[in-house]
Structure 1
Amino acid sequence: MKYDFIICHYGEIALKGKNRKFFEEKLIENLKRALKGQSPFGDSPRVQRISGRILVELPARIGYAEGVAGGSEKAKRDKIKEVLRNVFGIVYFSFAVSCEQEIEAIKKKAVEILQNKTVTNRCDRIKLLQLSEKQRLHFKTFKVETQRSKKDFPLSSQEINEKVGKYVLKRLAPYRTEGSGARVDLTNPDITCFIEIVENYAFLYLEKIPGPGGLPVNVSGKAISLLSGGIDSPVAAFYGMRRGVKIIFLHFYTQTQNSIDKTKKIVRILNKYQFSSKLYLVPFLNIQKEIFQKTNPEYGCISCRRFMFRIAEILAEKEKAEALITGENIGQVASQTLANIRATEEATNLPVLRPLIGMDKKDIIDKAKEIGTFDISILAEEFYCHGFLAKHPETKAN
């Protein structure tokens, strides 16, 4: 038996009222883009909305055998998991099997998928009594949990839980060995058999795989993200994407190719969250020299950032972006005191979004590691103000 669908559940999209359809359609579009070209979907993934869920059809059904015999099937599932974990808007998703909307069919299907958990290194349906003790049931307790959005189904969710649970207990009873075997635990079960009754389908699955949450990319407009090459700015861009913002990347470089190469690598990593990205590279050395020749050295870094904001605003007008995004964090460096943040922000008419403003450095580093940008960000980097930085930069600019 094989999985034939992936069910994707979203969160706050359901609260969008009259705009909900727009958000759902954007999530479907993003799912199709993410899965296109991936095995087994080919160039035309079949994705649809159904009863407050997004349903992805598996054209070549994927088995759920585990261990050695199920290795290739597991590899396929793992690849799909990796892709879906990067699609913003998904709260969780599940590989599911479908069956007729009849209680007898649902009961039999529940036993089939639970029996799969009894086998570790083979996928053939031999009798479990012939297996060694270590190969018998890999769970001792279970429960059945039903969601029934189709209200004309003749049984309530609780009645389905009870009937399926009793049937599972009866069918798995022969596999009990001294103290082992399945029993019901509604509080803290080893495994849960989830059942969903929706429209013309009945779905069953055993696992809820966390997604990234947030909103689908490209539902909240565009923003220019200033990438410094450090740890913070890629994380800020990530959080912007997570709230549905399409990110245009902007990097100011001075004189080494290293800074450009680092930034390109970071953008390639972040691109998996929004499928296509633009990166603008702006030479900044001559502007930097002029600033430090003609201004008080204590104000040098603040003046640099004001120029960057002005250039970013010009780019935003070209790209029809409505905001800037930075990795600024209160008190982290001299330019990021409240007074200096205000002084730099006055250089632009656009709102400046700072997703990291209240985060601890450790939390930022942890997120950078999670999204895969940390190892690149900590490579030897080029500092904008290198060679010009005052010994005591101004922290209370006006």
Structure 2
Amino acid sequence: MYEHILVRYGEINTKGNNRSQLERLLLSNIQNALGQWPQIKVRRISSRTLVSLHGAPVEAVLGKLEKVFGIRSLSPVMAAPLDVAAITEVAAQVLEEARHLGSTFKVKVRRGNKQFPLDSMELARHVGGALAERFTELQVDVHEPNVTVHIDVRDDGAYVYADVVEGAGGFPVGMSGRVGALLSGGIDSPVAVWQAMRRGLVVDLVHFHSFPFTSERAQRKVEDLAKTLAGWSGSLNLNLVSLTQTQAAIRKSCPEGLRTILLRRMMFHISTALGKQYGWLAFVTGDSLGQVASQTLSGLHVVDEVTDLTIIRPLVAEDKLDIIRRAQAIGTYETSILPYDDCCSLFAPKRPKTQPKRDEVRLAEAELDVEGLIAAALQAVEVKKIDRDA
């Protein structure tokens, strides 16, 4: 029965003077992710973190830890005192648990505790020989074994395991600062948000809607996406911003071919003002170059000029199929493809201009009461706190 989970770091290991600070942040994020099991204890052991289960279900805990950014890999482990016979016995238990995986095995030792009397090769030979005598139906294969029994010898004991589970990688959320992010309800923007969080960013979500022209089901779809993303980062603020008045003004006063570009500029105007309230230095979008009419290089250039926020576009050079695969992997795809219109698709012009010129866009925008529309949108912002599933 596995008693602990051994957590290995990802890019944290590449950091120097601030590594201990990042480790503390990761520990805090791990504890928050496992809050439904108050009996669990989390502590650092050298360049690892040990999660002691105390009866919590190992598979459920692994599922939570797989979504904590900053973790490179995980292993359910059994602990043994620093005694060769005890380590051998625990290794036999681990191999017994894993023997269904195949007919060959090997033993691999990492000796972090240099005071242990046997070196890595000596301990591997001793334990491997004992296991071969006990499990006569299994063969030793040091090159391509079906099962590898790992023994990690530390100052406080030895940790023995056979399974290595891939983690989310990246940096702990909270390391890199706070940003806003556009969450549209499509396939791309949730993936962009996920990638931003993976770089250690705390993300405040912004969703622009056109209620009553967009439905309550469209809003619930976005809330469901936000909840899935919260499973990776913890609680998220979802800012619901109405564009109904803005779209009516654009439709009344501006050329049809420029409607989408002008709408995007207004989104960035409003987001910039919202960012001053939150303290954002950057804004994340799901733009992918050339994917839709407003995401040409000319379109992005014309939109970006209205904000002093740094615009982060994690998907700008990504292939659509790669984005879809990532959406499937992180759990947002099935929700994203639900057929509810967002504010952009609902009011899209028949022939959008794909190579807008800055002067013509500025001239068209001059027909709008930009400051008044920004103020009206900010006054009606609804903020929802989205928590991760228990």
Secondary structure of the residue aligned to 1:36 is coil
The answer on whether the counterparts of 1:288 and 1:385 sit within 8 Å (CA) in structure 2 is no
* 2:213 maps to 1:214: no
- Counterpart Cα distance in 2 of 1:6 and 1:343: 50
Which moved further from structure 2: 384-393 or 150-159? 384-393
Distance apart, 1:217 and its partner CA: 0.9
- Asked if the contact 1:4/1:59 (under 8 Å) is kept, the reply is yes
Matched, 1:240 2:221: no
Partner of 2:348: 389
Q: Report deviation, 1:390.
A: 2.9
Partner of 1:24: 23
- Please name the residue that 1:188 is paired with: 144
The answer (yes or no) to whether the contact 2:181–2:284 under 8 Å persists in 1 is yes
Supply the AA of the counterpart residue of 2:171.
L
The AA in structure 2 aligned to 1:249 is L
Q: TM-score, normalised by structure 1?
A: 0.86
1:45 counterpart residue number: 40
Q: Is 2:333 the partner of 1:377?
A: no
Whether 1:82 aligns to 2:63 is yes
Checking the alignment, whether the CA contact within 8 Å between 1:231 and 1:377 is kept in structure 2 is: yes
For residues 155 and 216 of structure 1, the distance between their equivalents in structure 2, rounded to whole angstroms, comes to 36
Change beyond 3 A, Cα 1:4–1:322: same
Q: CA deviation at 1:197?
A: 0.8
How far 1:386 sits from its partner (Å)?
Answer: 4.8
Once the two structures are superposed, what CA deviation does each residue of 1:331-356 show, in whole Å capped at 9, x if it has no partner? 10000011111111111101111111
- Structure 1 window deviating more from structure 2 (323-332 vs 96-105): it is 96-105
Query: Residue 31 of structure 2: SS of its match in structure 1?
Result: helix
Alignment map for 1:1-398 (pairs within 5 Å): 2-37=1-36, 42-43=37-38, 45-60=40-55, 76-117=57-98, 139-173=102-136, 181-255=137-211, 256-386=215-345, 388-397=347-356, 398=358
Determine if contact 1:32/1:44 at 8 Å carries over to the other structure.
Answer: no
Shift of 1:12: 1.1
Shift of 1:218: 1.1
How many residue pairs match? The answer is 354
Q: 1:249 to 1:138 in 2, by over 3 A?
A: closer
Unpaired runs of at least 5, structure 2: 359-390
SS at structure 1 position matched to 2:110: strand
Distance 1:194 1:309 in 2: 52
Cα deviation, residue 54, structure 1: 0.6
Output the TM-score relative to the length of structure 2.
0.87
Percent of aligned positions with the same letter in both sequences? 36
Write the deviation string for residues 228-265 of structure 1: whole angstroms up to 9, x where unpaired: 11111011111111111111010110023232211111
Once residues 62 and 113 of structure 2 are traced to their aligned partners in structure 1, the CA distance between those partners, rounded to angstroms, is 28
259 and 200 in structure 1: CA distance in 2 versus 1, 3 angstrom threshold: same
Instruction: Kindly report the root-mean-square deviation, in angstroms, between the aligned alpha carbons of the 2 structures.
Output: 1.5
Q: Which amino acid aligns with 2:165?
A: I
**Cα shift readout 1:292-322 (whole Å, capped 9, x = no counterpart):** 3222222111111011011111111111122
Alpha-carbon separation, structure 2, partners of 1:149 and 1:23: 22
